Structure 1
Amino acid sequence: MKQTITTYQYNFITQQVNDLTSAYLSVNDLQVRLAIRAKVLEQVTPLLPSDEPNTQLFLTGLETDRLSRKSAAQLLELLVPMVEPFPLLSAKQLSKLFRKVKKLKQPEWYGLKRYELTYLGWNDGGNQKKYLVAPYEDRLIGIQGELAPETVKGVCAICQTIGNVALFLSTTKSSGLGTYTKKGNYICRDSNQCNRQLTDPQALADFLTIVQPQRKNRK
Protein backbone atom coordinates (compact mmCIF):
# COMPACT_ATOMS: atom_id res chain seq x y z
CA MET A 1 0.00 0.00 0.00
CA LYS A 2 1.44 3.35 -1.04
CA GLN A 3 2.16 5.97 1.62
CA THR A 4 0.55 9.03 0.04
CA ILE A 5 -1.00 10.85 3.03
CA THR A 6 1.08 13.27 5.09
CA THR A 7 0.90 13.17 8.86
CA TYR A 8 -0.75 16.58 9.08
CA GLN A 9 -3.35 15.51 6.49
CA TYR A 10 -4.07 12.43 8.57
CA ASN A 11 -4.46 14.62 11.67
CA PHE A 12 -6.85 16.89 9.74
CA ILE A 13 -8.91 13.89 8.65
CA THR A 14 -8.94 12.63 12.22
CA GLN A 15 -10.26 15.96 13.48
CA GLN A 16 -12.97 15.98 10.83
CA VAL A 17 -14.05 12.44 11.71
CA ASN A 18 -14.13 13.28 15.42
CA ASP A 19 -16.26 16.35 14.70
CA LEU A 20 -18.61 14.20 12.61
CA THR A 21 -18.86 11.64 15.39
CA SER A 22 -19.74 14.38 17.88
CA ALA A 23 -22.44 15.65 15.51
CA TYR A 24 -23.87 12.15 15.10
CA LEU A 25 -24.10 11.83 18.89
CA SER A 26 -25.50 15.28 19.65
CA VAL A 27 -27.62 16.37 16.67
CA ASN A 28 -31.10 14.88 16.36
CA ASP A 29 -32.13 16.58 13.12
CA LEU A 30 -31.41 14.16 10.24
CA GLN A 31 -31.01 16.89 7.63
CA VAL A 32 -28.45 18.71 9.75
CA ARG A 33 -26.48 15.47 10.24
CA LEU A 34 -26.55 14.83 6.49
CA ALA A 35 -25.29 18.37 5.79
CA ILE A 36 -22.42 17.97 8.27
CA ARG A 37 -21.50 14.60 6.78
CA ALA A 38 -21.52 16.00 3.25
CA LYS A 39 -19.19 18.81 4.34
CA VAL A 40 -16.77 16.36 5.98
CA LEU A 41 -16.73 14.11 2.91
CA GLU A 42 -16.09 17.13 0.70
CA GLN A 43 -13.04 18.09 2.78
CA VAL A 44 -11.43 14.68 3.30
CA THR A 45 -12.08 12.89 -0.01
CA PRO A 46 -9.53 14.92 -2.07
CA LEU A 47 -6.81 14.00 0.45
CA LEU A 48 -7.24 10.25 -0.05
CA PRO A 49 -5.81 8.13 -2.89
CA SER A 50 -8.76 7.07 -5.03
CA ASP A 51 -7.10 3.86 -6.21
CA GLU A 52 -6.70 2.33 -2.74
CA PRO A 53 -9.38 -0.14 -1.54
CA ASN A 54 -9.12 1.20 2.02
CA THR A 55 -10.16 4.63 0.80
CA GLN A 56 -13.53 3.36 -0.36
CA LEU A 57 -13.99 1.32 2.80
CA PHE A 58 -13.24 4.42 4.86
CA LEU A 59 -15.60 6.71 2.95
CA THR A 60 -18.39 4.12 2.94
CA GLY A 61 -18.00 3.75 6.69
CA LEU A 62 -18.57 7.47 7.17
CA GLU A 63 -21.89 7.34 5.34
CA THR A 64 -23.71 5.55 8.12
CA ASP A 65 -26.44 7.52 9.88
CA ARG A 66 -24.78 7.03 13.27
CA LEU A 67 -21.08 6.65 13.98
CA SER A 68 -19.74 5.64 17.38
CA ARG A 69 -16.31 6.71 18.57
CA LYS A 70 -15.17 3.09 18.50
CA SER A 71 -16.28 2.70 14.88
CA ALA A 72 -14.62 6.01 13.96
CA ALA A 73 -11.33 4.82 15.45
CA GLN A 74 -11.56 1.60 13.45
CA LEU A 75 -12.17 3.55 10.25
CA LEU A 76 -9.16 5.79 10.89
CA GLU A 77 -7.00 2.67 11.34
CA LEU A 78 -7.71 1.88 7.68
CA LEU A 79 -5.78 5.00 6.69
CA VAL A 80 -2.66 4.41 8.81
CA PRO A 81 -0.85 2.23 6.21
CA MET A 82 -1.24 5.07 3.70
CA VAL A 83 0.38 7.69 5.97
CA GLU A 84 4.06 8.53 5.48
CA PRO A 85 5.36 8.37 9.08
CA PHE A 86 8.07 10.47 10.65
CA PRO A 87 11.39 8.65 10.07
CA LEU A 88 12.79 6.44 12.80
CA LEU A 89 16.17 8.01 13.57
CA SER A 90 19.06 6.26 15.23
CA ALA A 91 20.93 7.71 18.21
CA LYS A 92 23.84 8.50 15.87
CA GLN A 93 21.58 10.33 13.40
CA LEU A 94 20.07 12.40 16.21
CA SER A 95 23.49 13.23 17.62
CA LYS A 96 24.56 14.62 14.25
CA LEU A 97 21.59 17.01 14.36
CA PHE A 98 22.68 18.25 17.80
CA ARG A 99 26.47 18.30 17.49
CA LYS A 100 26.95 20.86 20.26
CA VAL A 101 25.03 18.80 22.83
CA LYS A 102 27.49 16.56 24.70
CA LYS A 103 24.96 14.35 26.47
CA LEU A 104 21.83 14.35 24.36
CA LYS A 105 18.78 12.90 26.06
CA GLN A 106 17.26 10.57 23.49
CA PRO A 107 13.50 10.60 22.80
CA GLU A 108 11.44 7.63 23.89
CA TRP A 109 10.50 6.07 20.57
CA TYR A 110 8.53 3.30 22.21
CA GLY A 111 4.85 4.09 22.06
CA LEU A 112 5.24 7.00 19.63
CA LYS A 113 2.71 6.97 16.82
CA ARG A 114 5.00 8.16 14.06
CA TYR A 115 2.10 8.43 11.61
CA GLU A 116 0.87 11.35 13.74
CA LEU A 117 4.22 13.18 13.87
CA THR A 118 4.94 16.05 11.53
CA TYR A 119 7.92 16.84 13.76
CA LEU A 120 9.64 15.14 16.68
CA GLY A 121 9.83 16.91 20.02
CA TRP A 122 10.88 15.84 23.48
CA ASN A 123 11.68 17.48 26.81
CA ASP A 124 14.67 17.23 29.13
CA GLY A 125 13.02 18.40 32.34
CA GLY A 126 16.18 18.13 34.40
CA ASN A 127 17.92 20.74 32.27
CA GLN A 128 14.79 22.66 31.26
CA LYS A 129 15.55 21.93 27.62
CA LYS A 130 13.39 20.99 24.68
CA TYR A 131 14.61 19.37 21.48
CA LEU A 132 12.88 19.53 18.11
CA VAL A 133 13.61 17.64 14.90
CA ALA A 134 11.55 18.87 11.98
CA PRO A 135 11.53 19.07 8.20
CA TYR A 136 12.71 22.43 6.91
CA GLU A 137 13.52 23.25 3.30
CA ASP A 138 13.62 19.58 2.26
CA ARG A 139 15.85 18.40 5.08
CA LEU A 140 15.61 17.52 8.76
CA ILE A 141 17.02 20.04 11.20
CA GLY A 142 17.57 19.88 14.94
CA ILE A 143 16.67 22.77 17.24
CA GLN A 144 17.45 22.92 20.95
CA GLY A 145 16.16 25.55 23.30
CA GLU A 146 15.27 26.49 26.83
CA LEU A 147 11.77 25.54 27.95
CA ALA A 148 10.33 27.67 30.74
CA PRO A 149 9.11 25.65 33.74
CA GLU A 150 5.89 27.62 33.90
CA THR A 151 2.94 26.28 31.91
CA VAL A 152 0.14 28.64 30.91
CA LYS A 153 -2.99 28.54 28.78
CA GLY A 154 -2.35 30.07 25.40
CA VAL A 155 -2.08 29.60 21.65
CA CYS A 156 0.74 27.37 20.45
CA ALA A 157 2.87 28.94 17.73
CA ILE A 158 3.19 25.55 16.00
CA CYS A 159 -0.28 23.98 16.01
CA GLN A 160 -2.23 27.24 16.43
CA THR A 161 -4.41 25.63 19.10
CA ILE A 162 -5.22 26.84 22.62
CA GLY A 163 -3.67 24.57 25.23
CA ASN A 164 -0.95 24.16 27.83
CA VAL A 165 2.02 26.08 26.45
CA ALA A 166 5.44 27.15 27.70
CA LEU A 167 7.97 29.66 26.41
CA PHE A 168 10.61 28.10 24.16
CA LEU A 169 13.79 30.12 23.51
CA SER A 170 16.73 29.20 21.30
CA THR A 171 20.02 31.00 20.69
CA THR A 172 19.88 32.17 17.10
CA LYS A 173 23.14 34.12 16.73
CA SER A 174 25.97 35.92 18.47
CA SER A 175 25.73 39.69 18.36
CA GLY A 176 29.40 40.13 19.27
CA LEU A 177 31.30 40.78 22.51
CA GLY A 178 30.11 37.51 24.00
CA THR A 179 26.41 38.38 23.84
CA TYR A 180 23.77 36.27 22.12
CA THR A 181 20.35 36.75 20.60
CA LYS A 182 17.55 34.46 21.76
CA LYS A 183 14.28 34.08 19.94
CA GLY A 184 11.24 31.93 20.46
CA ASN A 185 7.57 31.72 21.23
CA TYR A 186 5.02 29.84 23.27
CA ILE A 187 4.53 26.24 22.13
CA CYS A 188 2.81 23.15 23.51
CA ARG A 189 4.73 21.56 26.36
CA ASP A 190 3.53 18.15 25.12
CA SER A 191 4.85 17.79 21.56
CA ASN A 192 2.85 14.62 20.90
CA GLN A 193 -0.38 16.43 21.67
CA CYS A 194 0.83 19.34 19.55
CA ASN A 195 1.38 17.01 16.60
CA ARG A 196 -2.12 15.56 16.88
CA GLN A 197 -3.46 19.11 16.63
CA LEU A 198 -1.17 20.14 13.77
CA THR A 199 -3.09 20.21 10.47
CA ASP A 200 -1.19 22.91 8.57
CA PRO A 201 2.64 22.77 8.40
CA GLN A 202 3.06 26.45 7.50
CA ALA A 203 2.96 27.61 11.12
CA LEU A 204 5.68 25.06 11.97
CA ALA A 205 7.83 26.34 9.09
CA ASP A 206 7.35 29.94 10.28
CA PHE A 207 8.34 28.97 13.82
CA LEU A 208 11.47 27.16 12.63
CA THR A 209 12.51 30.19 10.59
CA ILE A 210 12.50 32.25 13.78
CA VAL A 211 14.25 29.85 16.16
CA GLN A 212 16.90 28.12 14.04
CA PRO A 213 20.50 29.34 14.40
CA GLN A 214 21.57 31.70 11.67
CA ARG A 215 24.34 30.48 9.43
CA LYS A 216 27.45 32.54 8.97
CA ASN A 217 27.71 34.13 5.56
CA ARG A 218 30.12 32.26 3.37
CA LYS A 219 32.48 34.21 1.18
Structure 2
Amino acid sequence: MCEPFIRNHQYNVIRKQAEEVVRAYQAISDPKVLESVRYGAQEKVLELFPNVTEDCSKLLTPIIDLQTVEAARRYVAELEPYLVEFPSISVKQIQKLFPKNKKLKLPDLSQIDYRYVSYLSWSDLSTNKMYIVYDAGGQFVGIEGRYTIANKKSYCFVCNKFEKLALFSAVSKKRHANLPDYYKSVGNYICMNGHDCNRNITDVTALEKFIASVVH
Protein backbone atom coordinates (compact mmCIF):
# COMPACT_ATOMS: atom_id res chain seq x y z
CA MET A 1 0.00 0.00 0.00
CA CYS A 2 1.30 3.42 -0.92
CA GLU A 3 0.55 6.48 1.23
CA PRO A 4 0.35 10.00 -0.31
CA PHE A 5 3.89 11.05 -1.23
CA ILE A 6 3.63 13.52 -4.12
CA ARG A 7 3.73 17.25 -3.33
CA ASN A 8 2.04 19.72 -5.65
CA HIS A 9 5.22 20.99 -7.31
CA GLN A 10 6.35 17.40 -7.91
CA TYR A 11 2.98 16.56 -9.42
CA ASN A 12 3.45 19.48 -11.83
CA VAL A 13 6.82 18.06 -12.88
CA ILE A 14 5.23 14.66 -13.53
CA ARG A 15 2.42 16.22 -15.55
CA LYS A 16 4.83 18.23 -17.69
CA GLN A 17 7.10 15.24 -18.29
CA ALA A 18 4.09 13.16 -19.31
CA GLU A 19 3.22 15.83 -21.86
CA GLU A 20 6.80 15.76 -23.14
CA VAL A 21 6.65 12.00 -23.70
CA VAL A 22 3.39 12.29 -25.68
CA ARG A 23 4.83 15.09 -27.83
CA ALA A 24 7.89 12.95 -28.49
CA TYR A 25 5.79 10.00 -29.65
CA GLN A 26 3.88 12.28 -32.00
CA ALA A 27 6.82 14.22 -33.42
CA ILE A 28 9.95 12.04 -33.31
CA SER A 29 10.52 9.27 -35.84
CA ASP A 30 14.06 8.31 -34.81
CA PRO A 31 13.71 5.40 -32.34
CA LYS A 32 16.93 6.27 -30.49
CA VAL A 33 15.91 9.89 -29.96
CA LEU A 34 12.44 8.81 -28.85
CA GLU A 35 13.92 6.33 -26.41
CA SER A 36 16.17 9.04 -24.99
CA VAL A 37 13.20 11.32 -24.34
CA ARG A 38 11.12 8.52 -22.81
CA TYR A 39 13.81 7.27 -20.43
CA GLY A 40 14.89 10.83 -19.67
CA ALA A 41 11.37 11.72 -18.55
CA GLN A 42 11.15 8.61 -16.41
CA GLU A 43 14.49 9.39 -14.79
CA LYS A 44 13.50 12.98 -13.99
CA VAL A 45 10.32 11.79 -12.33
CA LEU A 46 11.95 9.02 -10.30
CA GLU A 47 14.70 11.39 -9.16
CA LEU A 48 12.04 13.44 -7.37
CA PHE A 49 11.44 10.54 -4.98
CA PRO A 50 14.75 8.90 -4.05
CA ASN A 51 13.35 7.31 -0.89
CA VAL A 52 9.95 5.98 -1.95
CA THR A 53 8.97 2.34 -1.67
CA GLU A 54 8.99 -0.01 -4.64
CA ASP A 55 5.18 0.07 -4.76
CA CYS A 56 5.18 3.87 -5.05
CA SER A 57 7.89 3.78 -7.66
CA LYS A 58 5.80 1.40 -9.78
CA LEU A 59 3.05 4.02 -9.91
CA LEU A 60 5.44 6.41 -11.65
CA THR A 61 7.25 4.21 -14.16
CA PRO A 62 4.39 3.90 -16.73
CA ILE A 63 5.25 7.44 -17.88
CA ILE A 64 7.70 5.84 -20.29
CA ASP A 65 4.89 4.33 -22.41
CA LEU A 66 2.48 7.28 -22.75
CA GLN A 67 1.65 7.67 -26.43
CA THR A 68 -1.54 9.77 -26.45
CA VAL A 69 -2.93 12.83 -24.70
CA GLU A 70 -5.69 10.69 -23.20
CA ALA A 71 -3.15 8.20 -21.84
CA ALA A 72 -1.22 11.04 -20.20
CA ARG A 73 -4.40 12.38 -18.63
CA ARG A 74 -5.27 8.97 -17.21
CA TYR A 75 -1.73 8.57 -15.89
CA VAL A 76 -1.69 11.85 -13.95
CA ALA A 77 -5.29 11.34 -12.79
CA GLU A 78 -4.36 7.97 -11.31
CA LEU A 79 -1.69 9.70 -9.24
CA GLU A 80 -4.12 12.16 -7.64
CA PRO A 81 -4.91 9.89 -4.65
CA TYR A 82 -1.21 10.06 -3.75
CA LEU A 83 -1.00 13.84 -3.55
CA VAL A 84 0.13 15.29 -0.22
CA GLU A 85 -2.29 18.08 0.60
CA PHE A 86 -1.16 21.48 1.85
CA PRO A 87 -1.90 21.30 5.60
CA SER A 88 -5.39 22.43 6.53
CA ILE A 89 -5.33 25.92 8.01
CA SER A 90 -8.09 27.81 9.80
CA VAL A 91 -9.06 31.47 9.73
CA LYS A 92 -7.78 31.88 13.29
CA GLN A 93 -4.43 30.36 12.39
CA ILE A 94 -4.01 32.78 9.50
CA GLN A 95 -5.02 35.72 11.68
CA LYS A 96 -2.34 34.75 14.20
CA LEU A 97 0.26 34.93 11.42
CA PHE A 98 -0.64 38.58 10.86
CA PRO A 99 -1.42 39.86 14.40
CA LYS A 100 -0.93 43.55 13.58
CA ASN A 101 -3.52 43.48 10.82
CA LYS A 102 -6.86 43.73 12.63
CA LYS A 103 -8.88 44.09 9.41
CA LEU A 104 -7.28 41.23 7.54
CA LYS A 105 -9.28 40.14 4.51
CA LEU A 106 -9.07 36.43 3.80
CA PRO A 107 -9.80 34.23 0.80
CA ASP A 108 -12.63 31.70 0.94
CA LEU A 109 -10.72 28.75 2.37
CA SER A 110 -13.61 26.37 1.63
CA GLN A 111 -13.08 26.87 -2.11
CA ILE A 112 -9.42 25.82 -2.07
CA ASP A 113 -8.37 22.36 -3.23
CA TYR A 114 -5.34 21.84 -1.02
CA ARG A 115 -4.02 19.00 -3.15
CA TYR A 116 -2.86 21.52 -5.71
CA VAL A 117 -1.34 24.07 -3.34
CA SER A 118 2.34 24.67 -2.66
CA TYR A 119 1.65 28.01 -0.98
CA LEU A 120 -1.37 30.20 -0.26
CA SER A 121 -1.49 33.74 -1.58
CA TRP A 122 -4.11 36.43 -1.94
CA SER A 123 -4.28 40.18 -2.38
CA ASP A 124 -6.36 42.95 -0.86
CA LEU A 125 -7.14 45.58 -3.50
CA SER A 126 -8.30 48.13 -0.92
CA THR A 127 -4.94 48.21 0.86
CA ASN A 128 -2.69 47.18 -2.05
CA LYS A 129 -1.29 44.35 0.02
CA MET A 130 -0.46 40.76 -0.82
CA TYR A 131 -0.19 37.87 1.61
CA ILE A 132 1.67 34.58 1.42
CA VAL A 133 1.28 31.60 3.75
CA TYR A 134 3.70 28.67 3.55
CA ASP A 135 4.21 25.45 5.46
CA ALA A 136 7.85 25.52 6.51
CA GLY A 137 8.60 22.09 7.87
CA GLY A 138 5.33 21.73 9.74
CA GLN A 139 5.11 25.34 10.90
CA PHE A 140 3.09 27.98 9.08
CA VAL A 141 4.80 31.25 8.21
CA GLY A 142 3.10 34.34 6.86
CA ILE A 143 4.46 37.22 4.82
CA GLU A 144 2.65 40.51 4.27
CA GLY A 145 3.80 43.08 1.75
CA ARG A 146 2.90 45.75 -0.75
CA TYR A 147 2.40 44.92 -4.38
CA THR A 148 2.61 46.89 -7.60
CA ILE A 149 1.14 45.37 -10.74
CA ALA A 150 3.69 45.06 -13.55
CA ASN A 151 2.86 46.72 -16.86
CA LYS A 152 3.72 43.65 -18.89
CA LYS A 153 4.06 39.91 -18.51
CA SER A 154 7.36 38.42 -17.45
CA TYR A 155 8.80 35.47 -15.55
CA CYS A 156 7.63 34.77 -12.00
CA PHE A 157 10.45 34.12 -9.53
CA VAL A 158 8.42 31.32 -7.92
CA CYS A 159 7.17 29.27 -10.88
CA ASN A 160 9.49 30.66 -13.59
CA LYS A 161 6.61 30.95 -16.05
CA PHE A 162 5.62 33.85 -18.30
CA GLU A 163 2.61 35.33 -16.50
CA LYS A 164 0.98 38.56 -15.35
CA LEU A 165 3.09 39.66 -12.40
CA ALA A 166 3.22 42.03 -9.47
CA LEU A 167 6.25 43.36 -7.65
CA PHE A 168 5.79 42.03 -4.12
CA SER A 169 7.82 43.87 -1.46
CA ALA A 170 7.98 42.83 2.19
CA VAL A 171 9.94 44.24 5.09
CA SER A 172 12.55 41.80 6.35
CA LYS A 173 12.42 40.92 10.03
CA LYS A 174 16.20 40.79 10.13
CA ARG A 175 17.80 43.56 12.15
CA HIS A 176 21.35 44.85 11.85
CA ALA A 177 23.16 44.69 15.20
CA ASN A 178 24.50 48.22 14.86
CA LEU A 179 21.40 49.65 13.15
CA PRO A 180 18.35 48.46 15.13
CA ASP A 181 16.04 50.94 13.36
CA TYR A 182 17.12 49.86 9.88
CA TYR A 183 14.40 48.14 7.87
CA LYS A 184 15.32 46.26 4.73
CA SER A 185 12.73 45.74 2.01
CA VAL A 186 12.87 42.45 0.11
CA GLY A 187 11.07 42.32 -3.21
CA ASN A 188 10.53 40.13 -6.23
CA TYR A 189 8.11 39.62 -9.12
CA ILE A 190 5.43 37.03 -8.47
CA CYS A 191 2.27 35.85 -10.24
CA MET A 192 -0.78 37.96 -9.49
CA ASN A 193 -2.87 34.80 -9.76
CA GLY A 194 -1.77 32.36 -7.07
CA HIS A 195 -3.83 29.55 -8.59
CA ASP A 196 -1.88 29.77 -11.85
CA CYS A 197 1.41 29.94 -9.97
CA ASN A 198 0.58 26.82 -7.97
CA ARG A 199 -0.27 25.00 -11.18
CA ASN A 200 3.03 26.05 -12.74
CA ILE A 201 5.49 25.65 -9.87
CA THR A 202 7.94 22.75 -10.20
CA ASP A 203 10.48 23.70 -7.53
CA VAL A 204 9.96 25.42 -4.16
CA THR A 205 13.61 26.42 -3.68
CA ALA A 206 13.22 30.04 -4.85
CA LEU A 207 10.08 30.51 -2.76
CA GLU A 208 11.70 29.11 0.38
CA LYS A 209 14.78 31.28 -0.15
CA PHE A 210 12.61 34.39 -0.46
CA ILE A 211 10.61 33.51 2.65
CA ALA A 212 13.82 32.90 4.60
CA SER A 213 15.15 36.32 3.53
CA VAL A 214 12.08 37.94 5.08
CA VAL A 215 11.30 35.97 8.21
CA HIS A 216 14.77 34.99 9.51
TM-score by length of 1: 0.81
Contact kept in structure 1, 2:46 and 2:60, CA below 8 Å: no
3-state SS, counterpart of residue 126 of structure 1: coil
CA contact (8 A) 2:147 2:166 kept: yes
In the alignment, the residues of structure 2 paired with residue 8 and residue 57 of structure 1 have an alpha-carbon distance, to the nearest angstrom, of 17
Shift of residue 142, structure 1, vs aligned partner? 0.7
> How much does 1:47 deviate?
3.9
The CA deviation string for residues 105-146 of structure 1, in whole angstroms up to 9 with x for no partner, is 222335533222211111222322111001335521011111
Runs of 4+ in 1 over 6 A off after TM superposition: 174-177
Q: Which runs of 5+ in 2 are unaligned?
A: none
Q: How far apart, in 2, do the equivalents of 1:103 and 1:26 lie?
A: 55
- The corresponding residue for 2:79 is 79
Which residue does the alignment assign to 2:38? 37
What are the equivalent positions in structure 2 for 1:103-182 lying under 5 Å apart? 103-136=103-136, 138-173=138-173, 180-182=183-185
Tell me, in whole angstroms, the C-alpha distance in 2 between the residues paired with 1:19 and 1:150: 31
Contact 1:120 1:134 in 2 (8 A): yes
User: Structure 1 residues 129 and 185 mapped into 2: Cα distance closer, same or farther (>3 Å)?
Assistant: same
Aligned residue pair count: 209
CA-CA distance at 1:180 after TM superposition: 4.5
How far apart in 1 are the matches of 2:123 and 2:151? 13
1:60 alignment partner, one of 62, 75, 88: 62
User: Given the superposition, is the C-alpha separation of residues 28 and 205 from structure 1 closer, same or farther in structure 2, using an over 3 Å criterion?
Assistant: same
Structure-1 residue corresponding to 2:12: 11
Provide TM-score, normalisation by structure 2.
Answer: 0.82
Higher mean C-alpha deviation, range 124-133 or range 134-143: 134-143
What is the CA RMSD across the aligned residues, in angstroms? 2.6
Alignment correspondent of 2:199: 196
CA contact (8 A) 1:128 1:149 kept: no
Distance of 2:119 and 2:34 partners within structure 1: 35
Equivalent residue letter for 2:129: K
Contact 2:167 2:188 in 1 (8 A): yes
User: Quick check: 1:121–1:133 contact (8 Å CA) kept in 2?
Assistant: yes
Instruction: Return 5+ residue gaps in structure 1 as ranges.
Output: 215-219
The answer to whether the 8 A contact 1:152-1:166 is kept is no
Q: From the superposition, tell whether residues 115 and 137 of structure 1 become closer, same or farther in structure 2 (CA, over 3 Å).
A: closer
Alpha-carbon separation, structure 2, partners of 1:4 and 1:211: 29
